[in-house]
Each structure stands twice: as C-alpha cells, then as structure tokens.
C-alpha cells in the first residue's frame, strides 16, 4: 500500500481561529461545505491543538481560507508553535475581529467564514465539527492555496532546512559530513539521528513517524 496516494486528494488550507479567555488559531487542511441548504461546513481538528478545545468550549469560530499569496511565515506562526505556550496574537497585526467576536486573518487569505458548531463526531485523534455558517466575506481574489500548491511552492525544500528549524541553510561542514536526518514531509521539521522512533510525533505539525523521510546531508 502506497500511503503517498493520500497526498493526491485535493483539499485546501485554512487558519481556524477561536476565542475564549484569549484569541488563538491553528492550521487545518480539512474543511468542506457539507450542505448548501442550510449552509453548513465541516472540519476536523487535532485534539492536541488548543484551538480544538476553544472551539468545543465556545461553539463559535472563524475559518480563514489561505490563498496562494500566503508565505511560509503564516504557516510557521499558526502551525509550528502551540497556543498553550505562546500568545499567537500578541504581536500579530494581520487580522481583524468579525461580528462573532473572533479574529480572522487578513494577509495571505482570500476569504473567511464564520460559524457556530451544531454537532461533533469523535474521530479518535481528531474531532469533526459540523457547523452552520453565520457570516462570510471575500477578502482577495487570489486563488486558494491547495495542499499540493503548499508542498510545491510554499514549504521550504528539505535541503534548505537546518535540524530542528523551519527555514535555513545546511552548513557546508554538515553537508559534507554525511549526517542522517529524518525530514517531515508535511511541515519540513528535521530530526537528526540514524533511527527515528516508531512512536515519534512531529513537534510542529503532530504527524507520526510514517510521514518522515530519511535523508543523508
């Protein structure tokens, strides 16, 4: 079975935002319209994300649709750090507050959708939320960024990444030394070592060891 076949599925990328005692947001790649009458959307969120708990508690959210104008900094900011450890909106200015009281992202996104959760489904590692759309607005005419576009045009290539970092350049000595590293195919995180533990979880995107590729640099 070739697990890479899953990458052929066509889907977009989004910043899911919520508010309880503070504002927070995370990257998700699972959001679709499930019915048009009434207008409802569905999206899945990893239970490890603080935004998951905030959406479940408050029942309201915004989904900002990432466009091809987005740069990797947007993914780093909302996808590679935890809201449990940092305030993602402390110094973040590329956002506005919608009528539902939740922020939405204005730069690198072409629209946002506001919603109210109607029901949930437990999927083990994730929760699937079904919600009614309460508001929506187009922000830009740029095309939406698909997961394939992100992989090809936004995510840094493995050879430009330092161990444990998101963007950088491998030092000449490292490149000549023949180090073995494991590169996350989803976010680009690099783990250094001959063997990657079977139960390893990417600290950035929370994907398992099966999504890492072994390389020699």
Q: Which positions ≥6 away from 30 have C-beta within 8 Å? A: 11, 43, 44, 126
Q: What is the mean pLDDT of the chain?
A: 87
Q: Tell me the Ramachandran region of residue 203: left when phi exceeds 0, alpha when psi lies from -120 to 50, beta otherwise.
A: alpha
In the chain, how long is the greatest CA-to-CA distance? Answer: 60
Q: pLDDT tens, 79-103?
A: 888 899 899 999 999 999 999 999 9
For the whole model, what pTM was predicted?
Answer: 0.79
- 119 — pLDDT class (breaks 50, 70, 90): very high
* 3-state SS assignment for residue 142: coil
- 170 — pLDDT class (breaks 50, 70, 90): very low
Q: What is the pLDDT of residue 208?
A: 87
Task: Sketch out the chain's domains with CATH numbers.
Answer: 12-149 (2.30.110.10), 156-216 (2.20.28.10)
**Residue corresponding to tokens 């079904």:** 130
Q: pLDDT tens, 172-196?
A: 334 445 688 888 877 777 888 889 9
Q: Which two tokens stand for residue 110?
A: 């072409």
* 3-state SS assignment for residue 119: strand
């Amino acid at each position: 079975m070739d697990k890479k076949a899953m990458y052929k599925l066509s889907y977009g990328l989004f910043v899911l935002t919520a508010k309880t005692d503070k504002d927070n947001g995370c990257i998700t790649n699972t959001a679709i319209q499930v019915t048009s009458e009434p207008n409802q959307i569905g999206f899945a969120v990893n239970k490890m994300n603080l935004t998951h708990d905030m959406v479940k508690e408050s029942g309201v959210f915004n989904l900002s649709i990432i466009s091809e104008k987005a740069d990797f900094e947007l993914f780093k900011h909302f996808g590679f750090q935890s809201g449990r450890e940092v305030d993602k909106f402390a110094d973040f200015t590329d956002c506005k507050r919608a009528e539902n009281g939740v922020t939405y992202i204005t730069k690198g996104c072409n629209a946002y959708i506001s919603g109210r959760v109607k029901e949930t489904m437990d999927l083990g590692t994730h929760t699937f939320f079904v919600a009614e759309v309460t508001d929506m607005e187009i922000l830009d005419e740029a095309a939406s960024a698909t997961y394939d576009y992100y992989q090809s045009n936004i995510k840094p290539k493995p050879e430009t990444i330092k161990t444990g970092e998101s963007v950088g350049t491998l030092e000449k000595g490292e490149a000549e030394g023949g180090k073995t590293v494991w590169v996350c195919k989803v976010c680009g995180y690099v783990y250094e070592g001959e063997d990657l533990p079977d139960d390893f979880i990417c600290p950035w995107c929370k994907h398992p060891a099966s999504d890492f590729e072994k390389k020699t640099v």
